[in-house]
Amino acid sequence: MEKQQKIVQMFNEIAPTYDLANRVLSLGIDVSWRKFACRYMLEKFRAQSINIVDVACGTGDMMGIWKSMAREFGVHIDELVGVDPSSGMLDAARLKFPDFKFIEAYADNTTLGDEFAQILSISYGIRNVVERKAALREFNRVLKPGGYVVVLEFTKRSKKGLITSIRDFYLSKILPRIGGVISKNKEAYEYLPSSIENFLDAKTFCDELYEAGFEVEVCRGFSMDISTLFIAKKVR
């Protein structure tokens, strides 16, 4: 099995326990990072009608937040579409959000039309995309001119320090044990630290966004830089 298929297969296996493991392992803090990103974007589109795509939507948490926060900003969401290649994750998403639209597809071939959306989000997903550069070009194609890509991700550290060591210890020693008990799949939770290690640091990812036709507007770390938010505008 090729690398990308193995990753998707792993998400199929952990899908039934994904939400529980996620909440326990992040102590719910990820919700505040997600809300920050949505608030920032919805303010820009206040009182407008827009389409939003959430790539690597998993069990649909980011979509739920887009939907519930939009009203606060007077934003009307015409279409909210989740894209993910894992049928297991999409089954879990459909149970939670039976009215949402989902497409089983990879990030580099979403099957959506040109200039479909004003916002495309991808939370904790881009690290898993083997064809990342092709996916960033695909995001550019799917966005309208002036549209935004919103990425939440665990990035690789460029500097070593105490905080980095604590984070690395948590990710490599504690997280696989707890995730392994909840999902009964320790291997899947050992994949998380190695996938971060194999991903990029924040600066290098900003360069890739630029190459794909985006201008980075936000690149900020949350909670001692555990998670990083990138917001970038389609400029060409």
Ligand X SMILES: C[S@@+](CC[C@H](N)C(=O)[O-])C[C@H]1O[C@@H](n2cnc3c(N)ncnc32)[C@H](O)[C@@H]1O
Where along the sequence are the contacts to ligand X (CB under 6 A)? 4, 7-8, 11, 55-58, 61-62, 84-86, 89, 106-107, 123-125, 128-129
**How many angstroms separate the CA atoms of 163 and 43, rounded?**
32
* CA 5 vs CA 11, 77, 156, 174: distances in Å: 10, 32, 23, 27
Q: Which helix (H) or strand (E) holds 46?
A: none
| Shortest distance, position 11 Cβ to ligand X, whole Å | 4
Give whichever of 8 and 149 is closer to ligand X, judged by the CB atom: 8
Give whichever of 42 and 57 is closer to ligand X, judged by the CB atom: 57
Give whichever of 126 and 206 is closer to ligand X, judged by the CB atom: 126
Is 225 labelled as part of a ligand binding site?
no
**How many angstroms separate the CA atoms of 163 and 181, rounded?**
26
| Shortest distance, position 161 Cβ to ligand X, whole Å | 26
- Single out the residue of 11, 70, 42 nearest to residue 192, CA to CA: 11
Beta bridge partners of 80: 52
Q: What is the DSSP string of 121-175?
A: EEES-GGG-TTHHHHHHHHHHHEEEEEEEEEEEPPBPSS--HHHHHHHHIIIIIH
| Shortest distance, position 58 Cβ to ligand X, whole Å | 2
| Shortest distance, position 89 Cβ to ligand X, whole Å | 4
CA 135 to chain centre: 13
Give whichever of 95 and 235 is closer to ligand X, judged by the CB atom: 95
Beta-strand relationship, 143-153 and 76-84: unpaired
Is 84 labelled as part of a ligand binding site?
yes
| Shortest distance, position 132 Cβ to ligand X, whole Å | 9
Give whichever of 126 and 236 is closer to ligand X, judged by the CB atom: 126
- Which residue shows structure tokens 């105490």? 162
Residue nearest to ligand X (CB): 58
| Shortest distance, position 124 Cβ to ligand X, whole Å | 4
Give whichever of 7 and 136 is closer to ligand X, judged by the CB atom: 7
Output the known binding site. 59, 84, 123
Output the known binding site for S-adenosyl-L-methionine. 59, 84, 123
